[in-house]
Structure 1
């Protein structure tokens, strides 16, 4: 039987850096002079239909000095099927040799004839072995270019690998390096960089499901879920620009999902570090929210005059967002989150042991029940609630939706998948209606704060009592539909 993987302390960490940051790093006393740079030329192979990638494998040939190495890797959930999910062999040929030493021949069958080069990466690599806080570290600095069809992209990264010693030293070294040069948490490996360069140009990245399965425990599920949120944020972060409002929206969604994951798994996180991190996530989301609110206001107003009046404030909000995203505080937050997910105190505290050991599916069912009860509220009359209470209900609905999306992979039976789709749709309609109500409630303060009370298009956003009654009626109807939606986890 294949060996089941369990959550272990992360022995490696990848950090992205610019050419200027690389020069700053090499100039510091932290990295002693000496290691000669070596050239690495790597080509990734697949079929035109990307059959290997679809099956969860990568195939590459790397020329390192006089040596040519062929590597097949199982990635993602596929890696769980193998005790050692990597096959390496030294080859003399310039094309892959695909025999029974790896699973590819059996996997592709006749399609193996279609395998060809997809993209190449030319890298200059330097490697240091560093003692750090009682640990032995390897630091690899890669700088190079990715070439895919007619596209080119530069790439720079630092990879830290713990060879021996306490895992905390890995993150301590990362923080020290981040003080010398601006480094950002890396979430893409070189294969992902290349395949993304081959695909359509992306303006934003939406959330993707975590690779959960029903045999997991809660302690295995939380870091996987949180990591998908962290990844979504980091993928959208460099895309945030006034001309690309979708990226700031998706970055905020990622942060909200991350906060929700911390909240959902709160019984397992009985430590002050979690509280500090969630407050920092809230702060960062608030900064991005200033730009997002202006995007929404501009869209809702639908007036060129209003857009023109908003533009200086909107440009300033985006400039502030960029400053914050590039700040030491934000970079450090990403490192703190990565460390917490891998080796945070929650992984060993006795007070969370019972929850950690729960089957993830059991934990998910209880969490979904608890969150559903808060949104259901015994078929409350929305007309009887004030704006603040309706806002709280909206937040509860959002958290329930995120939880449902997190845990859907655990309930993959066909009948449950159909039920899950209907449940999410009903919850989404309720969220939309509650969102429109919230827009009406917050518009007066926002319009006044921006000095737009004299603008007819802005005043139109305030709505009337009749508009509010209609929205409440529509939200109440959506709430009834949600209450009647069957639970997919029961």
Structure 2
């Protein structure tokens, strides 16, 4: 058992070509291509999903592995979660083997009647690279589909998993890559997307005006700048992930929906700009605690980024007001959130909010 630490990017198929070229700048320890078949299991009432756990059997060639992932933390696209693996003789999800090997406390697991819920089948091209400072990272480009009955959803993403070294080195590694457009950090796992597909569920959109009021009220209770920034960053992550999960088609159906969605991002960036001192306080706090080698560059880049984003959202609001074209306005918003600049911005925030 160990904590899996990985960062995930949602990308388009052509990103694989960029990735292959970029990785030539690093020492290659291994390179492999394989087809992975994964079946996710749960009880009929989805007990595991309710506990924020994922159970799958993976087949690679004729080898089978049972994996249990339990609840962890997500910072933008950075996933940190406990993971348990055990080899299987066949595709049967034998929980007894997993419980015995790790002495897991899973009440009544021997009585669970596990059923297949969905599958994720994809081709994985992976590279193990050495980055210096004792850091090795597995880079995996996955392309395939999630299947639940007659329903399907595409998979096209890159995972950067830390095999050895520090989390900050993983983040810095991703920042060295050439990231342009149609790329974003993703906090939604394949399992989460699979459950949504299997249950034919689309999350009901949160009332972000109420959510924003709650944040402003709770801000007074945060003991320090880091606690405030963490809460704000979680809010931003949730807003972005919900926007992509629900999709622009939903928001484009109604003028008011479009106004509210774009307005939620305006409120966010406006707060960042107005509270610029918050970022400086957090940076100073992290430097004092020596959680990582923070640089003044982080602060400068974030402040510039927040001003730029606020101005761009203002322009989208003005365009929407003039043309009354919901689709055009939302397309511009979604494009803004899928740029290399935005990915790097979110990584800078991850740097700032990772420390205790």
Instruction: Kindly indicate whether the alpha-carbon contact (under 8 Å) linking 2:184 and 2:340 is maintained by their aligned counterparts in 1.
Output: no
Aligned with 2:89 (options 69, 87, 92):
92
CA distance in 2, matches of 1:266, 1:130: 34
Aligned with 1:243 (options 252, 261, 264):
252
Q: C-alpha deviations, 1:332-376, integer Å up to 9, x for none?
A: 22232233333xxxx5xxxxxxxx7xxxxxxxxxxxxxxxxxxxx
- Report how many residues are paired: 310
Shift of 1:40: 1.0
Is residue 2:32 matched to residue 1:36?
A: yes
Match of 1:277 in 2: 302
Q: C-alpha deviations, 1:63-88, integer Å up to 9, x for none?
A: 122211112222148xxxxxx94332
Q: C-alpha deviations, 1:150-182, integer Å up to 9, x for none?
A: 221111222223334454432332123234785
CA distance in 1, matches of 2:127, 2:42: 33
Shift of 1:277: 1.7
Could you say if the C-alpha distance between residues 151 and 164 of structure 1 is closer, same or farther in structure 2, counting changes exceeding 3 Å? same
Q: C-alpha deviations, 1:115-148, integer Å up to 9, x for none?
A: 3111100021122121225433222222221112
Is residue 2:54 matched to residue 1:58?
A: yes
Secondary structure of the structure 2 residue equivalent to 1:153: strand
Secondary structure of the structure 1 residue equivalent to 2:130: strand
Structure 2 gap segments, 5+ residues each = 74-80, 216-221, 286-295
Match of 2:201 in 1: 200
Match of 1:48 in 2: 44
Match of 2:343 in 1: 331
Could you say if the C-alpha distance between residues 164 and 62 of structure 1 is closer, same or farther in structure 2, counting changes exceeding 3 Å? closer
1:421-432 superposed matches below 5 A: none
More strand by share: 2
CA distance in 2, matches of 1:220, 1:64: 43
Aligned with 2:237 (options 231, 237, 254):
231
> Which has the higher mean CA deviation after the structures are superposed, 145-154 or 262-271?
262-271
Work out which structure has the larger RCO, using CA pairs closer than 8 Å and 6 or more positions apart in sequence: 2
> Which has the higher mean CA deviation after the structures are superposed, 34-43 or 263-272?
263-272
Shift of 1:316: 5.5
CA distance in 1, matches of 2:196, 2:270: 25
Could you say if the C-alpha distance between residues 285 and 128 of structure 1 is closer, same or farther in structure 2, counting changes exceeding 3 Å? same
Instruction: Kindly indicate whether the alpha-carbon contact (under 8 Å) linking 2:137 and 2:164 is maintained by their aligned counterparts in 1.
Output: yes
Secondary structure of the structure 2 residue equivalent to 1:139: strand
TM-score of the aligned structures, taking structure 2 as reference length: 0.69
Could you say if the C-alpha distance between residues 118 and 256 of structure 1 is closer, same or farther in structure 2, counting changes exceeding 3 Å? farther
Match of 1:20 in 2: 14
Could you say if the C-alpha distance between residues 59 and 34 of structure 1 is closer, same or farther in structure 2, counting changes exceeding 3 Å? closer
CA distance in 2, matches of 1:176, 1:324: 20
1:358-373 superposed matches below 5 A: none
Match of 2:141 in 1: 141
CA distance in 2, matches of 1:103, 1:256: 47
Is residue 2:187 matched to residue 1:187?
A: yes
Structure 1 gap segments, 5+ residues each = 1-7, 78-83, 211-215, 298-308, 348-355, 357-490
Could you say if the C-alpha distance between residues 326 and 87 of structure 1 is closer, same or farther in structure 2, counting changes exceeding 3 Å? closer
Q: C-alpha deviations, 1:178-212, integer Å up to 9, x for none?
A: 347854212112211212223423474667999xx
Match of 2:291 in 1: none
Could you say if the C-alpha distance between residues 288 and 132 of structure 1 is closer, same or farther in structure 2, counting changes exceeding 3 Å? same
CA distance in 2, matches of 1:231, 1:293: 25
Secondary structure of the structure 1 residue equivalent to 2:94: coil
More helix by share: 1
TM-score of the aligned structures, taking structure 1 as reference length: 0.52
